[in-house]
Amino acid sequence: MDALVSLVSIRNLVKTYQRGPEKIEVLHGIDLDIPRGDFVCLMGPSGSGKTTLLNLIGGLDSPTSGQIDFDGKRIDQMSSSKLTQWRANHIGFIFQSYNLLPMLSALKNVELPLLLTKLTAAQRRHNAEIALQLVGLKDRIKHKPSELSGGQQQRVAIARAIVSDPQLLVCDEPTGDLDRKSADEILSLLTQLNQEHGKSIIMVTHDPKAAEYAKRIVRLDKGTLVAASA
Amino acid sequence: MFAWLNQIVQVSWMNLKNIPQRAGASLVIVVGIAGVVGVLTAILSMGAGFRATLGNAGFEDRAIVMRNGATSELSSGLSREQADVISGAPGIRRDANGKPIMAAELLVIADLPKASTGTLANAAVRGVQPGSFLLRPEVKITQGRMFNFGTREVIVGKQAAMQFSGLKLGSRIAFRDSDWSVVGIFEAGGSANESELWADAEVVQSTYRRNGFQSVSVALENKSALKTFKDALTADPRLQVKVSTMKQYFAAQSEVMSKLINVLGYSVGLIMAVGAIFGALNTMYAAISTRGREIATLRAIGFGAMPVLVSVLLEAELLALIGGAIGALLAYLLFNGYTAATLGSNFSQIAFDFRVTAALMGQGMVLALAIGLIGGFFPAWRATRLPVATALRAE
């Protein structure tokens, strides 16, 4: 697969962290392609570099060396402010602990990414309602996160991730804090977004059952890709 | 630019709306800053009041003549002859009968018990002449009557009547082995004269066994007549005197005390401000660290670091502004008009009112905003410098 057909193309990616006087290389020259419409699961033991790789793909961090192309554009050379803008336009984030703003209602949380657009307040509200409807929470729009179950909170987070219509959803242990039933519902929702709405998804998980929902699994160990399976 | 401003507005609005949910932390900032501003404003209002009291007595079209080298009336001395020579100098305004408006006065000290403690303190007794009242039209008898010249009667300034016991209308007081009757209470436009007792200069002279005076005060024809008047007196070989407008004289009198109060005010204010800055820093750090993940989430979603920084600063400034306003208002309500007394340069008690002026309150607000800015900047800067990926994982 070359960079032209891939949504994400990663070449020889290295990430090193400085911890005191010591340099720790977390990723040692990763090559990876994620085609459009893919649902890829990143797995591996703790400390294998999954989250680091996910953060680099999502533009939350910059690599030490190597190249990341997203939709034909290099993001590894972007400045911090350009990268921030790029994230707003292309990436939807779903975190393990939802990261909703506790004082905002579900609707206002979902509207957040739209505050960065030129949409009017009415348009923002309309789009946020549609996103909440899509995740099955139309009747909970006025509820604050503390008034929702874990599964519902993660649905709100998913609505927030998709409301600005990004190409890629970056999910970091999206079901890590949920019971099996809620986890399955969230994973079904992600599958639906992938299959029916064409969203590309990259997901980090420790849970083999969650990984079964993905189209393919990429395994990392000690900063190196060890295997990929369909 | 629009996007940037829009982000600032959106994030700030969200932050501000949520202040009530962080009431505890916000209250610590507000109360800390209110304390600093309140204390500073109150202390400085003392200096403002003192300056105003002495400054009130000073008008630019009035001059005071004292012996050369004297720093206050108490250390001055002029003979009767010198007073006569001064009364003939050019530049003095004249009354309807063509007589110069002037008064040779003496200032002596009487030991009287303070109303607050009962201990003896120095009260200023001014021996005055009819011209003293023409010179100072602001002097008004508010209770009782004017004293009769040639008798041991005194009229008492409003502040002196409050500061000392036994100076009520109709009471009798003893000083210098003589009995005096209080026949009137007067006001003098809030000036230092209100802290004095006034009696006939001749009677005071005989009581204190003095022949001369300590100062001669005159009304000038106008402000520019000072030079004519001054030149005539300094050129006269019979006189070794110094001439100043009352405004200059009282400015010099209040200088040392004003400086002392200002140094005290600013040093106490500074120490408290440093304390408040650290308090605000601590609170803001705590407030920001509990919101670290929120801030990181906003940045992950696409909000810029600068808009987040500015919005946190705006929040800190709003809290500082509220604290500053409360402090200034409390200082105003508690201290504006509060009367205190101190020893003036004539070694007599001068009473003055604290003055919480708009300028002082403004100064307090500026200090509050400075504390808010410094206290808010560092934690906000830290929160926005932290890598997003790291901040997202923070508990």
pLDDT at B389: 85
Based on the fold, state whether residues B176 and B199 are members of the same structural domain.
yes
Q: Is A89 in contact with B3 (Cβ distance < 8 A)?
A: no
B360 is a domain residue: yes
Q: Residues B210-254: pLDDT tens digits? A: 889 999 999 999 888 899 999 999 898 888 999 988 878 877 777
A103 inside 8 A of chain B by CB: yes
Q: Is A104 in contact with B14 (Cβ distance < 8 A)?
A: yes
**Residues of chain B contacting A58 with CB distance shorter than 8 Å:** 300
The tally of domains found in chain B comes to: 2
Confidence of residue A2 (pLDDT cuts 50, 70, 90): very low
**Residues of chain B contacting A81 with CB distance shorter than 8 Å:** 304-305
B175 is a domain residue: yes
Last residue in a domain, options B214, B239, B264: B239
Based on the fold, state whether residues B223 and B276 are members of the same structural domain.
no
B20 is a domain residue: yes
Instruction: Write down the H helix ranges in chain A.
Output: 50-57, 80-90, 106-111, 121-134, 150-162, 180-197, 208-211
B387 is a domain residue: yes
Last residue in a domain, options B239, B266, B297: B239
B245 is a domain residue: no
Which of B301, B311, B386, B392 is best to mutate for the A interface (most A CBs within 10 A)?
B301
Based on the fold, state whether residues B42 and B116 are members of the same structural domain.
no
The partner residue sitting opposite A60, judged by closest CB among B21, B298, B300, is B300
What integer is the mean pLDDT of A135-160?
Answer: 94
Based on the fold, state whether residues B183 and B317 are members of the same structural domain.
no
Q: Is A84 in contact with B6 (Cβ distance < 8 A)?
A: no
- DSSP state, B220? B
The partner residue sitting opposite B302, judged by closest CB among A51, A61, A116, is A116
Last residue in a domain, options B209, B239, B269: B239
A120 inside 8 A of chain B by CB: no
B297 inside 8 A of chain A by CB: yes
B74 is a domain residue: yes
Confidence of residue A3 (pLDDT cuts 50, 70, 90): very low
**Residues of chain B contacting A153 with CB distance shorter than 8 Å:** none
Q: CA dist A200 to A6, A49, A184, A193, B208, Å?
A: 11, 21, 19, 9, 105
pLDDT at A228: 66
Q: Is A81 in contact with B304 (Cβ distance < 8 A)?
A: yes
Based on the fold, state whether residues B167 and B230 are members of the same structural domain.
yes
Strand order in the sheet with A200-204: A91-94, A168-172, A200-204, A39-43, A216-221, A224-229
B12/B313 Cα distance (integer angstroms): 9
Confidence of residue A1 (pLDDT cuts 50, 70, 90): very low
Structure tokens at A208: 């083999």
pLDDT at B351: 67
- The one-letter amino acid code at B77 reads G
Residue showing tokens 């004017």:
B146
Q: Is B392 in contact with A112 (Cβ distance < 8 A)?
A: no
B62 is a domain residue: no
Based on the fold, state whether residues B190 and B135 are members of the same structural domain.
yes
Based on the fold, state whether residues B31 and B143 are members of the same structural domain.
no
Domain range for B167 is 69-239
B169 is a domain residue: yes
Instruction: Give this complex's ipTM.
Output: 0.91
Give CATH for domain A6-229.
Answer: 3.40.50.300
Regions of chain B short of the pLDDT cut 70: 1-3, 54-58, 280, 284, 287-289, 340-351, 394-395
- DSSP state, B213? B
pLDDT of A210 > 60? The answer is yes
CA angle A176, B18, B303 (to 5 degrees): 60
Based on the fold, state whether residues B371 and B297 are members of the same structural domain.
yes
Residues 6 or more apart whose CB falls under 8 angstroms from that of A214 comprise A39, A40, A41, A201, A203
pLDDT at B29: 83
Containing B112, the helix (H) or strand (E) segment is strand B102-113
A191 vs chain B: nearest CA distance in angstroms?
Answer: 22
Q: Is B3 in contact with A116 (Cβ distance < 8 A)?
A: yes
Closest CA to B38 of B281, B364, B274, B352: B364
Domain ranges of chain A: 6-229
Q: Is A99 in contact with B392 (Cβ distance < 8 A)?
A: yes
**Residues of chain A contacting B14 with CB distance shorter than 8 Å:** 101, 104
